[in-house]
Each structure stands twice: as structure tokens, then as C-alpha cells.
Amino acid sequence: MKRVLPTLLLVMTLPSSFSIAQESSQLSPFDRYLKGLRTGRLETALVRVAALCGMNLNAATIRYAVRPDERWKPVRNLGNARDNQETDFFATAEVLHSPKRILVEEWSMDSEAGDETRTIICLLDQDVKYGEQIEWSSPQEEERTGTSKPPGWAHEVRWRVEQGKFLKSILEQFVNEQEKPVPKPRLGPDTPKVFGFIPEIRTWGDLKLPDTMLQ
């Protein structure tokens, strides 16, 4: 399966543009991702990492998988991803590959806590060269001020692998649900105070995805 870049619609009325933006703002980050897959809209983060990876998204072969339990299960697409969610913990993977380059976008969800994590990894010859991870956390009761509900926030970390083994952070920041930088939010007592954790992923094998996804 090939990913096709969408063409830009030059004719769009203001009301329809506003309604689309309003609808998107009401979706969770993962549901926005699923909607993008259905409509052919590419995420800004995926395009950015693909450029850093030197990957032509139009020429890449794409595979999908879900992890409803402890093992990955290849699927044709992620159209029914929510239906495959059997427990509070759930994950999906999108793998785009060319002869030498691999781009992996993995989402993991904790529905009980309301947290969603997206990890994008770039590999060259099955060795990780670059990665970024963003963790969205639902605001806790202790983080509320007055009667207003604070917006959800996320922490983002980007890193690269140096000398084939050293994971070096190159950016850390807090962002909102639209991935725009924001000041550090007010944190509740149960919110983890340590951020910037870099996954110990250095090779394709560390991802534990089925090798059939590279076919």
C-alpha cells in the first residue's frame, strides 16, 4: 500500500473551514490521527520527521498493526482501531518503508488515565537515527483553577542517536493539544514530575514489531 499526498483544495468557504477546525479541536490527538488517515491529511510531525529521515512518503510502502494485548497483530488499516481496543491499554503502529529507510509512528493509549503517547522513529538500515515522542495527559482535578476546565497538555522530547548508541536529547518542551509550545502547566500532586524520558530503542528489533511489516 502506498501513501498518497493530498492535493491542496484551493476553494474553501470560511464557514466550512471554521467548522472543520472546530470539529478537529474536539477530537483527542489519537482520533485526529485516525481522521487524518481516513482523509489523507498528513501530520506536520510525520512530514517533518520524514524530511529529516530523507524518506519520500509518496514512494514508501505502508503497513499497519495493532496491539490489543501483549502482541502486535498486523491489520490492513486502522479504520477499526477503536473497535480493537479490548483493554485500557492499547497501541497502534504505522510503518512506512523504502529499501533502506523506515519510518515508524506508534500510538499507545491508557484509556483509564486518559493519556495518549505518540512516538515517531526514523531508521536507516534498521538502525535508529532520530526520534521524537509526545505524551498528552488529561488534566487532573488538582490542576483545575476555579470552575474552568484547563486544556489538555503534553510534553514533547526529540532526540537523535550518536555514534550508534548514545541517545541525545535535542529538544524538550510542553505543548497544547494542537502541538503548539506552552508554558509549563500547573501540575497536580499525582502528576509525574520527571519528563524527557527517551525510549531505549536503537534498532528495528527493539520495536518488537512483526518483520512482515517490512515486506
Q: What distance in Å separates the CA atoms of residue 151 and residue 207, rounded to the nearest whole number? A: 32
Residue 72 lies in a domain: yes
With cut-offs at 50, 70 and 90, classify the pLDDT of residue 134: very high
* Nearest residue to 30 (alpha-carbon basis) of 104, 149, 114: 114
Provide the pLDDT confidence category of residue 19 given band limits of 50, 70 and 90.
very low
Is residue 61 assigned to a domain?
yes
User: What is the count of structural domains for the chain?
Assistant: 1
The whole-number pLDDT of residue 88 equals 75
- pTM, to two decimals: 0.82
Give the whole-angstrom CA distance, residue 118 versus residue 100: 23
In sequence order, the β-bridge partners of residue 75 are 64
**pLDDT grade, residue 85 (50/70/90)?**
low
Q: Is residue 17 part of a domain?
A: no
In a domain, 143, yes or no: yes
pLDDT band at 187 (very low <50, low <70, confident <90, very high): confident
Report yes or no on 51 lying in a domain: yes
Count other C-beta atoms under 10 Å from residue 104's C-beta. Answer: 22
- What secondary structure does DSSP assign to the chain, as a single string? -B--PPPPP----HHHHHHHHHHHHTS-HHHHHHHHHHHTPPPHHHHHHHHHHT--TTT-EEEEEEESSSS-EEES-STTGGGG--SSEEEEEEEEE-SSEEEEEEEEEETTTTEEEEEEEEEETTEEEEEEEEEEEPPPGGG-BTTBPPPPEEEEEEEEEETTTEEEEEEEEEEETTS-EEPPPPPPTTS-----------BHHHHT--GGGG-
Mean pLDDT of 165-181: 88
180 vs 197, higher pLDDT: 180
Is residue 10 a part of any domain in this protein? no
Q: What is the pLDDT of residue 163?
A: 80
Determine how many CB atoms are found less than 10 A away from the CB of residue 206: 13
User: Where is pLDDT greater, at 140 or 128?
Assistant: 128
Domain that holds residue 57: 43-214
Within a domain: 20: no
In contact, 93 and 67? CB cutoff 8 Å: yes
Rg of the chain, C-alpha, whole Å: 18
Does residue 18 fall inside a structural domain?
no
Planar angle of CA 51, 67, 195, nearest 5 degrees: 60
User: Contact 131/122 with Cβ under 8 angstroms?
Assistant: yes
